[in-house]
Amino acid sequence: MKILLNNTSLIESLRPFNDLGFVPTMGGIHKGHLSLINKSNKFCKKTIVSIFINPKQFNNKRDLKSYPRNIKKDLKILKKSKKVDFVYLPKFNDIYQNKKKPKIKLIKKDKILCAKFRKGHFEGVLDVMNRLTKIVNPRKIFMGEKDFQQLYLVKKLLEKNYKTKVIPCKTIRDNNKVALSSRNYLLNKYNLATAANVFKKLQNIKKKITNNKNISNFLRFEKNKLRNNYKIKIDYLELRNINNLKPSNKKKNSRLFIAYYLNNVRLIDNI
Ligand code: AMP
């Protein structure tokens, strides 16, 4: 596993390879990241993982400050997996040396779910993914369905502008079905127990959806119940079509999306 600390060494090391699988991360490596790496390893000749906490996608300074960082541990896990050929650890200037202002703007119909509650977040994500794709030039990028809206927006942008394919990967969960996330490192065991209960409720809510229901009233009611039962702040609980993320009123081709806070940590999930 070769560690690439800047763009010069990246360009030099990647030159011989044209079948690259890329797994972009912000570190805090867990089994969710490893599942993306495994898939890349299966489908591509070489796998490169990046670890870069992109300040431009954080709409909240406190969130950026508290974001889990443990590069030593991350490198140890990645090395042990034996599935990673390159780890790219860029500095801010490696990514943003091209100072051209990003032209990336969300269209109105995409300003939903997290885009509505985290102003500027996806503009930051799309900008960094555009820059990373230009620098790494991978054949495939592996991204998790846990961050479904991110996957949807990045896939739409990159596949329009590059030959790179964005490959969706299933959400990996812990034993209590809580979606793995680097932010879970910031939760205590009570928070994690609540997250497990919220997941169970989500499953129940999805089960109760029938095609003849007034879905938005039903979800508003269930959202209030969740909020009161678990004393959590909920940004949204919405059923949306998986192909275009439009509001949906039937279970087929739809997912139930939630964003909520535990211990001031914002968690997202979709089922
Ligand atoms: P992050 O480090 O949180 O920015 O995530 C890097 C990549 O890993 C993104 O494509 C995420 O969607 C993906 N990812 C994060 N958590 C999970 C999970 N529990 N299961 C599958 N993929 C995940």
Note the pLDDT tens digit of each residue in 98-138.
877 767 899 999 999 999 999 999 999 999 999 999 999 99
Q: Which residues of 78-98 are buried (b: 16+ CB within 10 A; e: fewer)?
A: beebebbbbbbbbeeebbbee
Nearest CA to ligand 1 atom 12: 144
Domain boundaries of the chain, sorted by first residue: 2-169, 182-270
Ligand 1 neighbour 54 (Cβ under 6 A): no
Residue pair 82/118 in contact by the 8 Å Cβ criterion: no
Residue range 199-218: mean pLDDT, rounded: 92
Measured from the Cα of 181, ligand 1's closest atom is 16
Task: Write the DSSP symbol of residue 173.
Answer: B
Residue range 133-147: mean pLDDT, rounded: 98
CATH number of 182-270: 3.30.1300.10
Measured from the Cα of 147, ligand 1's closest atom is 12
Residues 8-60 pLDDT 10s: 999 999 999 999 999 999 999 999 999 999 999 999 999 999 999 999 999 99
Gap between the Cα atoms of 126 and 155, Å rounded = 10
Q: Is the pLDDT of residue 211 over 80?
A: no
Ligand 1 neighbour 182 (Cβ under 6 A): yes
Helices 121-136, 148-161: crossing angle, 10 deg rounding: 50
In which band, very low, low, confident or very high, does the pLDDT at 197 lie, cut at 50, 70 and 90? very high
User: CA nearest 164: which of 140, 199, 131, 194?
Assistant: 140
Between the CA of 147 and the centroid of ligand 1 the distance, in Å, is 7
Ligand 1 neighbour 118 (Cβ under 6 A): no
Whether the model clears a pTM of 0.85, i.e. scores above it, the answer is yes
Ligand 1 neighbour 171 (Cβ under 6 A): yes
Gap between the Cα atoms of 241 and 43, Å rounded = 28
Residue range 57-68: mean pLDDT, rounded: 94
> What percentage of the chain has pLDDT greater than the value 90?
95
Two domains, one topology: 2-169 and 182-270: no
Residue pair 174/199 in contact by the 8 Å Cβ criterion: no
Ligand 1 neighbour 39 (Cβ under 6 A): no
In which band, very low, low, confident or very high, does the pLDDT at 176 lie, cut at 50, 70 and 90? very high
pLDDT for res 159: 98
33 labelled catalytic: yes
> Which of 3.40.50.620, 3.30.930.10, 3.40.50.2300, 3.40.1260.10 is the CATH number of 2-169?
3.40.50.620
Measured from the Cα of 28, ligand 1's closest atom is 2
Gap between the Cα atoms of 213 and 218, Å rounded = 7
CB atoms within 10 A of CB 229: 12
Q: Order of strands across the sheet with 254-262?
A: 233-241, 254-262, 265-270
Q: Across all residues in the chain, what is the average pLDDT?
A: 96
